[in-house]
Amino acid sequence: MLDIKFVRENADAVRENIRKKFQDQKLPLVDEALALDKRNREIKQEVEDLRAKRNRVSKEIGGLMKQGRREEAEAVKAEIAKDGARIDELSQEETQVEESLKKVMLVIPQMIDPSVPIGKDDSENVEIEKFGEPFVPDFEVPYHVDIMEKLDGIELDQARETSGNGFYYLKGDIARLHSACLSYARDFMIDRGFTYYIPPYMIRSSVVTGVMSFAEMENMMYKIEGEDLYLIGTSEHSMIGKFIDTITDEDKLPQTLTSYSPCFRKEVGAHGIEERGVYRIHQFEKQEMIVVCKPEDSMKWYDKLWQNTVDYFRSLDIPVRTLECCSGDLADLKVKSCDVEAWSPRQKKYFEVGSCSNLGDAQARRLKIRIRGPEGTYLAHTLNNTCVAPPRMLIAFLENNLNEDGSIRIPEALRPYMGGKSVIEVKK
C-alpha cells in the first residue's frame, strides 16, 4: 500500500505505474483517492478550528457570568453546543472517509522497481541466467506419476475417494524422499544463518489483507467457516504477520527466518497433462525464507534469497534458471520478483519451482512493521522466497535423477536423510 502523501505528490507517476502493470481500469482510483484525501484533510481542519474556537469561547463564559451577563453567557453556551454537534457530525464523516480511502489505497498497486521489464503477462517474463547444463537422456522419461507408480510411491485414486481431485497419498521411498527434501532444505537454510520456525497454519483476516492483495486472497485462501481464520497459502503469511504492529531496533536487523509449513490453496483445474498429478494441487509443503530489513538493504537480500534456491537445487544435480517477472506478472504488492525454474528432461523445458519477491514497504505499511533508528521510526522492507516446495519439486528431482531402468539416483546431499540410500529401486 502506498503512502497517500506519496500519491498526492506523485499522482502522475502512480498513474504511469498502473499503466505499466496494464491495469488501466484502476486509473480512476488515483483521482478517487486524491478526492477522499482532500475531503479528509478538510474535515480535520474544520474540526481543529471548531475545537480551538470552543476552547477560546469557553473561557469567556466564566467572565460573562461574573459580570452578570447571564443571557450572553447562555448564548455562548448554545453556540458551543451547536459547534459540538458539528464536531460529532464531522467525526462520523471522517471515519467513513478514512475507511473509504483505505479501501481505495489497498487496491492501488505498489510502485515497481525501475529495473522490472515491461510486459503484459508471464509470457513476457525475461530469462536472467541458467545454472547447470540441461540435458535429455537417450531413453524416454515417463510422466512423473508413472515414475512414482513404478516405485510404488503414490496413490491418486484413493486420494480422490477421500478428498477429491487435487490431493494425493505419497508412500514408501517417495514419501521419505519428500520429507528428506524438506529436512535438507531446513538444515541448508539454518547453515546459511536463518532462524528456523514452524508457524501457525491459520491466520486472521487482518493478517491476510496485510500480506496480499484482495485478488490473490480470493483466488488462493480457504476460509474457516464461522471463524475469523484462513488456512495459509504459504508460511510467509504467518511469518510476516509475526511482526504486526512492532518496532524493531536497527541493530536487531536483518531478521532472517526460514519456516516450514503445509500450504493450502484453492487453485487447481485443467491446466494440461503436465499440470496434473502433483504439479497443481490443493495442499503441499514448503520451506520458505523471509527477511525483514532496512530499505537500503532489501535489494541485496533479494539477490541473496534467489541465489539460495539456485544453490539448493544445484546441490541436488537439478539444472535451473532464473526468470525476471515482467510488470504485468507482478502481484500488486511486489516491487520486484523472479521465478526459479527447474529443467524438465521430459518436457524439454523449464518449469517454476519457486518465486522470490521484494515487497518494499507494502506489507510493512499495512501491518505497521517499523524500525527504530537514530532519527526516529520508519517502515521496514519485507522479502520472501521459496527454498523448496515438494511435491512439485519432486517432478524435477525424479526426472533429473532417473536411471534407464526406472530407479532413482540419490545425490550425496540427500543420503543422510534417506538412511544412507544411494538409489531408490523399482518396486513394480
8 A C-beta contact, residue 166 and residue 281: yes
Give residue for cell 541448508.
Answer: 188
- Separation in Å, CA 328 to CA 1, 269, 361: 18, 23, 20
What's the CATH fold of domain 4-107? Helix Hairpins (1.10.287)
For the chain, which residues score pLDDT lower than 50? 268-274
The pLDDT value recorded for residue 62 is 61
Domain ranges of the chain: 4-107, 122-424
Concatenate the DSSP letters of all residues of 246-298 into one string: EEEEGGG--EEEEEEEEEE--------GGGTTTTS-SEEEEEEEEEEE-GGGH
The count of other CB atoms within 10 Å of the CB of residue 126 is 13
**pLDDT (tens digit per residue) in 238-263:** 999 999 999 999 999 999 999 999 99
**pLDDT (tens digit per residue) in 28-67:** 999 999 999 999 999 999 999 988 887 777 666 666 666 6
The pLDDT value recorded for residue 276 is 63
Which residues are known catalytic residues? Answer: 265, 280, 352, 355, 392
3.30.450.20, 3.40.50.300, 3.30.930.10, 3.50.50.60: which CATH number matches 122-424? 3.30.930.10
376: left (phi over 0), alpha (psi -120 to 50) or beta: left
Residues making up the chain, counted from first to last:
428
The pLDDT value recorded for residue 54 is 77
The pLDDT value recorded for residue 273 is 43
The pLDDT value recorded for residue 1 is 86
